[in-house]
Amino acid sequence: MLEIKNWNEIKRLSIEVISFEYDEIIYTRHTNPDGSIGGYVAATATVEETVFVYDNARVCGNARVCGNARVYDNARVYGNAYVYDNAYVYGNAYVSGNAYVYGNAYVYGNACVYGNARVCGNARVYDNARVYGNARVYGNARVCDNARVYGNAHVYDNAYVYGNARVYDNARVYGNAYVYDGKIKTMIKTIQIFRYCVSITEEFVFIGCQRFKIEDIKLITYKETKAIQHGITQAQFSILKKMVLLAIKY
């Protein structure tokens, strides 16, 4: 068994090194469904053959990753965490403790989900957001920026929690509500355009997981919306932009 003294050493070694020990934990490199050699899985963790774990991602502790889930970039899934169905964990995100991420949920950026938290449905937790305790985020809800959702709080439906917002205890944020920096307001309009859920407030337009000021919508570019990552063509993006501008106007 090859023993690694510094995690960066593995980057200098050949991809042929499939099993090694680091900090008294035995890791193997995951073989992805397409046959590629992926990220790192501890001997104590469970990762099904249908799962993609790649880049520098790690699954360790007693964590489980199942179904069609994907864990990549520098993401970590550890503790007793469970990631399954079509969930994605990527960027520098962490899922740990007894947390579950499932359905079509995404956790990414520098976000962390831990404790007994649950993120599911089409929910998105990203940027520097934290969801923990017994909190639940589900439906089409979004939690982003430096927001915190914890305690027994639930955020669901089309709700957005962002900025430096704190949602906790037994609070419920749902419907078309959005909470930020101590303010609670309601979405003016929510529409579906191609693969994007577009939500319009008094100040912002949310396109998918991205937020833009209303006055900046005319200036946004194809690249800025990451449309290409969602299979949206340049022509479709032009239509999307026109439809968003019409929705704001009317």
Q: Which helix (H) or strand (E) holds 245?
A: helix 234-249
pLDDT on residue 14: 47
Determine what percent of the chain is predicted with pLDDT higher than 90. 52
Q: What's the CATH code, domain 2-185?
A: 2.160.10
Instruction: Please report, for the chain, the start and end positions of each structural domain, with discontinuous segments joined by +.
Output: 2-185, 189-249
Q: What does the DSSP 8-state code read for residue 188?
A: S
Tens-digit pLDDT profile for residues 159-201? 999 889 999 999 999 988 888 877 666 666 666 666 667 777 7
Q: What does the DSSP 8-state code read for residue 229?
A: G
Determine what percent of the chain is predicted with pLDDT higher than 70. 79
Burial 35-56 (b: 16+ CB within 10 A, else e): eeebbbbbeebebeeebbbbee
